[in-house]
Structure 1
Amino acid sequence: MGLADPVVTLLGPDPSHRNCVLNGNAFQQDAIQSFNGWQYACFYSPLPGGGAAEPLFVHVARRRLPHGPWETLVLDDYPQTTDDGHNTVQVGHRVRYRFSLPKVALSPEGFEWEPKLFRCTLSQLPGLEGEDELFGYITYPRFGQLGEDLWFSWRTGKAGLGDDHLSVYRAGTGRHELVGGSGSGTHLRGVDGNPYIHGLHHRDGRLHATWVWRGFVWYEGWDDPADTKHKAQAGPNSAQNNHDICYAYSDDGGRTWCNGAGERVADLSRGESIRPDSPGIVAFEIPRGSGLHNQESQAVDHSGGVHVLNRDNLDGEQRWKHYYRSSDGSSPLLAHPLIGPSGFVVIPSEGTWTQRALPHVKGLYGGKRGQVVVSRDDDLYFVLPDTEAPTLTILKALKDDGYSTYELVWRKEGFPPTDPLVDETRLDYDNVLSVYTRAVAEGVDVGAKSNNVVILDFQL
């Protein structure tokens, strides 16, 4: 295989006694992130010292790259007690928001790593204090880079019935602004459904978004504030109602959005949103009941090509697939024609979507999600868990091959089913694949359930 075994470092014990996984979910964007020569990671764990397993607390770790030891602080004023996999460090029903003192990330050597670096927990975002309706009941908050600023997205509503919103954190002021000015900043509006994004990525001035829709099946009590049926992993409002892979982009930080043909479909400053009936947004028509997952993974290569990892059963077998939109510039696929079903040569044009099933892996319905990421050399890596066994697999697709073949470069046991996460910034700059996942704890009695949160560093 093509990758040497990684350097493994330990963050801390995982709360493996819980039914729901809190450390390692695909919608955590990002639980591991590099900046200014340091790497940061966050996770839930009990208080240090081997005492009580409950409650759990937010742990924030940092290390100087490339080989510094981890320093970890514990925010012990916010106990986490609910066994719900949505409640990751980023996610909660009422927003919980903390930020550090100024310059902690810019000058890390000048600060001892301790909890007092972080201000108290807020239930609103600075700059958006009056937006109670937007932050009273949220899920899936995400941060990402937007030049020198950060975009922040979140969902309101419930599974199958909600909207996605977008704000920008301005580095110069330390405050958030709704994209598009006054209003809801709603870039994706669900109509009898809700969007589930694979991610948002900003590359060379363009913000890319891909997502699936989930339709809603109405039921008695759906509007009861205490209702929890929408959280069920099986039933009328589960992933079986996911449909279509969609794409849109913005060249002005999320204010206006265009479909893949460059036609404007929404202007948030005018109160518009992308809706299920917006023209030209569907990249792949995939019906409900086709095994499509929600919130799997997205990547954007250095040429502007868009890559989506998801799965479907349209070929008669449930398989993980690589869905690829060639760049608006020169596409590597142009040098690798495809042979059509009638034997004709099909040359994908610029901006054309293609799809291929991934070999060596299964991609079960509703199984753990994987990650697709882009290296500094513009090659793709697929980091894929196994839902049925403690196995982690990595596939590689070369840019020079048009991302058309997938090589098995690493596979090992000892990693319980987890959505692996990747430090995309470190991969982009240092060509090191840092994978955040869980590993079976060593020296534990056979049959015991004990895992650790670990980082795997692969030098590419």
Structure 2
Amino acid sequence: MIYAERPLTSPSLPPHFPLTGSNTTPRCQVSLGSALFGPLWSAGDDSAMRLLESYLPRILQRRSPLASLGTAAARRVSSRKRMTLRRIFSILPVLAPVVWLTSCGDGERPSTPASSTSSGSGGADPGGGGAVATTSEATGAGGGTTTSGATVGSTTVSSTTTGGGGAEPVAPGIVKLGEGKLAESGLTVVSYGGYLNGESFQQDGIVSFGGFQYTAFWNTNRNVVLARRRLPASPGGAAGAWEKFDFKDYRLSADDAHNTISLGIAPGDGTLHLAFDHHGSNLHYRRSVTGLLTDPEGAAWAASSFGAVSSALVGSTRVSLVTYPRFVTEPGGDRMLLSARIGESGSGDEHLWEYDATTHAWTALGEYIEGTDASMNAYLHGLSYTRGGSRLHAAWCWRDTPDATTNHDLLYVYSDDHGRTWKNNAGATVATTGASFVSLRTEGLSVWPIGQNRGLINQEHMTVDASGRVHVLLSHLPDAETDNSNFTSARTRSEFFHYLRDTDGTWARHGIGLKVVQNFRGKLAISSTENVYAILPDLRIAGASPSDGYATWTLLDAADSGRFFSDPLIDAARLETSDELTVYYPQRSSVDIWGLEYALR
């Protein structure tokens, strides 16, 4: 195994980008918008122009004359007027201080610009043996970074431009488009530190398919509520209203944050699948009639379009001791996987089932990660396919006992046959589902050693970009901190890290430079440019670029910090077809659950 520790850089805080929606008031939109888009426009970047044309009317709804001009120009934009629009906005950075003075409060006026770059501490984790994987799906281009900074009040703001070989990289950027309530009756019971609505291991808690977005939540009556809305036909358009109904035939069994709701999409027969209310319990599963997703107008959006709750998948055999069910749609859409832990914390096994949309039936593939024999279990950070590809990836940590202080290591395997056989990082076949299992004794699983008593949280997040790079978000103590056997205390000093498996099989670690919030966990989102965004608890959003191997992380948005509670969820499926990010997040001390919309670069 080859390890490469990149410099851990603490990103500086950029300006708050424009906010929209009935409950938010944008600040300093024109100057900040120009800071985001101006350099790209002056360089002739047509992708930035397209982003402007789509989104500017929604983000520049202000009283400033220049903002009004920008909105009108965006509405009238045509191919002949693109250059005019480019010229208008290329001068906005020059006019920004004037506009800022007229649209911001006294406390938000910029002081004299100054360059600033800060670095965090960190050291290299020890390397390990083993072969480097020689299999890869693609190779990405690299590049360098140049960071410039300016001071606003007492806060340093930064923007990053990128350069390098191959296609010109695009610096990470995010614009908030708006927000709206998904729910006004979400259950607010706090268990294990979080809400039942909004836990990182919900795969998926919100998901898009066929022009609609689907989500679910527990309401205050302790029933599952299923909701959908029509997505905009074009970027920046208005989404439809949420249509909701609840299943009154089933009530939540326990106030336990493990007992979340996961949704599964089976495109082949248009069925929607739900698994809910599990913590070492019998399976609770139901699915829709065929065609509900592929012909959304042809079937009633109602509980009557779903079957009864079942504890069996294959025949009448009950599935018991279930926790953490997650659905994964296979490429092509004719099959879908279900993974779940069978057993208890610190002593459980991961099992796989497969749904065939042509027969509308499940098959038990069997156990694939063994923990019971070794009195431990795997806590998955994710089970995901390469975006647009057919390789299935799994990353996890081991836990030796029910005590979270015994979480340790980053482990990784992949499968090229939809979970039948598994290979380690070096490409050696190490397990066959249902026959020989991935276990503590399996060679070549550990790709990054992380000791016990490091405050490592289980089940953070993993995702895979279109080039085949594996991205894992973890939070734990930085190297400079000593071991701490008190998990709660260790979390107060823990930080977020990005772990990267490059296309040649080498792994690297990058410090994101942001502290954790309690025991909450974040998500990773990938744009079409393969920029990666960390959607972190307390709704802080940081970004990094492939131009320097994702080594430099910058905080891009923290305007909504303090509003939300528990773990943010994201619609990863929507990001596969557009650069629009939906974040599902329960409001702190409220029955409201919000959907926040962003445009990514």
Query: What TM-score comes out, normalization by structure 1 length?
Result: 0.81
Query: Percent of aligned positions with the same letter in both sequences?
Result: 37
Q: 1:280 to 1:81 in 2, by over 3 A?
A: closer
- The alpha carbon displacement at 1:459 in A equals 1.9
Aligned counterparts of 1:101 and 1:300: Cα–Cα separation in 2: 31
Aligned counterparts of 2:186 and 2:242: Cα–Cα separation in 1: 16
Spell out the pairing of 1:280-295 with structure 2 (5 A cutoff): 280-295=444-459
Q: 1:238 to 1:417 in 2, by over 3 A?
A: farther
Q: 1:18 to 1:285 in 2, by over 3 A?
A: closer
Deviations 1:328-377 (A, max 9, x none): xxxxxxxxxxxxxxxxxxxxxx2100001112x2025x620001121222
- Determine the structure 2 residue equivalent to 1:70: 242
- Determine the structure 2 residue equivalent to 1:379: 531
- Partner residue of 1:140 out of 308, 324, 343: 324
Give the aligned residue type for 1:31.
G
- Residues 91 and 140 of structure 1 are in contact (CA less than 8 Å); yes or no, is this contact kept in structure 2? no
Q: Which has the larger radius of gyration?
A: 2
What SS does structure 2 have at the residue aligned with 1:381? strand
- Determine the structure 1 residue equivalent to 2:574: 426
Query: Which of the two has greater strand per residue?
Result: 1
Aligned counterparts of 1:107 and 1:415: Cα–Cα separation in 2: 37
**Number of residue pairs the alignment of both structures matches:** 385
- Residues 188 and 196 of structure 2 are in contact (CA less than 8 Å); yes or no, is this contact kept in structure 1? no
Aligned counterparts of 1:296 and 1:325: Cα–Cα separation in 2: 16
- Residues 510 and 550 of structure 2 are in contact (CA less than 8 Å); yes or no, is this contact kept in structure 1? no
- The alpha carbon displacement at 1:17 in A equals 4.7
What SS does structure 1 have at the residue aligned with 2:309? coil
- Residues 223 and 247 of structure 2 are in contact (CA less than 8 Å); yes or no, is this contact kept in structure 1? yes
- The alpha carbon displacement at 1:120 in A equals 1.0
Q: 1:128 to 1:363 in 2, by over 3 A?
A: farther
Spell out the pairing of 1:148-167 with structure 2 (5 A cutoff): 148=333, 149-167=335-353
- Partner residue of 1:267 out of 415, 432, 447: 432
- Determine the structure 2 residue equivalent to 1:324: 500
- Determine the structure 2 residue equivalent to 1:4: 175
- Determine the structure 2 residue equivalent to 1:50: none
- Partner residue of 1:407 out of 554, 558, 568: 554
Q: 1:17 to 1:313 in 2, by over 3 A?
A: closer
1:214 and 2:367 aligned: no
- Partner residue of 1:258 out of 390, 400, 423: 423
Aligned counterparts of 2:512 and 2:561: Cα–Cα separation in 1: 20
What SS does structure 2 have at the residue aligned with 1:79? coil
- Determine the structure 2 residue equivalent to 1:455: 595
- Determine the structure 1 residue equivalent to 2:311: 123
What SS does structure 1 have at the residue aligned with 2:515? coil
- Residues 298 and 373 of structure 1 are in contact (CA less than 8 Å); yes or no, is this contact kept in structure 2? no
Deviations 1:293-350 (A, max 9, x none): 10000010111000111122251242211011001xxxxxxxxxxxxxxxxxxxxxx2
- The alpha carbon displacement at 1:438 in A equals 1.0
Spell out the pairing of 1:4-83 with structure 2 (5 A cutoff): 4-12=175-183, 13-19=185-191, 20-46=194-220, 55-66=221-232, 67-83=239-255
1:355 and 2:502 aligned: no
- Residues 398 and 408 of structure 2 are in contact (CA less than 8 Å); yes or no, is this contact kept in structure 1? yes
Give the aligned residue type for 2:397.
V
Deviations 1:34-59 (A, max 9, x none): 0111110011113xxxxxxxx41000
Aligned counterparts of 2:250 and 2:364: Cα–Cα separation in 1: 27
- Residues 426 and 432 of structure 1 are in contact (CA less than 8 Å); yes or no, is this contact kept in structure 2? yes
Deviations 1:268-310 (A, max 9, x none): 25x1000011001101111111111100000101110001111
- Residues 414 and 439 of structure 1 are in contact (CA less than 8 Å); yes or no, is this contact kept in structure 2? no
- Determine the structure 2 residue equivalent to 1:247: 412
1:311 and 2:475 aligned: yes
Aligned counterparts of 1:39 and 1:112: Cα–Cα separation in 2: 16
Q: 1:437 to 1:108 in 2, by over 3 A?
A: same
- Residues 378 and 396 of structure 2 are in contact (CA less than 8 Å); yes or no, is this contact kept in structure 1? yes
User: What is the CA RMSD across the aligned residues, in angstroms?
Assistant: 1.5
- Residues 252 and 277 of structure 2 are in contact (CA less than 8 Å); yes or no, is this contact kept in structure 1? no
Structure 2 unaligned residues grouped into runs of 5+: 1-14, 16-172, 233-238, 262-275, 482-493
- The alpha carbon displacement at 1:199 in A equals 1.0
Aligned counterparts of 2:564 and 2:321: Cα–Cα separation in 1: 31
What SS does structure 2 have at the residue aligned with 1:430? coil
Give the aligned residue type for 1:40.
Y
Give the aligned residue type for 1:322.
H
- Residues 95 and 123 of structure 1 are in contact (CA less than 8 Å); yes or no, is this contact kept in structure 2? yes
- Residues 190 and 257 of structure 2 are in contact (CA less than 8 Å); yes or no, is this contact kept in structure 1? no
- The alpha carbon displacement at 1:80 in A equals 1.3
Query: Which of the two has greater helix per residue?
Result: 2
- Residues 568 and 584 of structure 2 are in contact (CA less than 8 Å); yes or no, is this contact kept in structure 1? yes
- Determine the structure 1 residue equivalent to 2:132: none
What SS does structure 1 have at the residue aligned with 2:577? helix
Q: 1:128 to 1:6 in 2, by over 3 A?
A: farther
Aligned counterparts of 1:100 and 1:368: Cα–Cα separation in 2: 32
Give the aligned residue type for 1:201.
S
Give the aligned residue type for 1:152.
L
- The alpha carbon displacement at 1:7 in A equals 1.7
Structure 1 unaligned residues grouped into runs of 5+: 47-54, 180-184, 217-236, 328-349, 386-390, 441-448
Aligned counterparts of 1:421 and 1:61: Cα–Cα separation in 2: 15
Aligned counterparts of 2:400 and 2:251: Cα–Cα separation in 1: 34
- Determine the structure 1 residue equivalent to 2:461: 297
Higher relative contact order (CA 8 A, sep 6+): 2
- Residues 189 and 274 of structure 1 are in contact (CA less than 8 Å); yes or no, is this contact kept in structure 2? yes
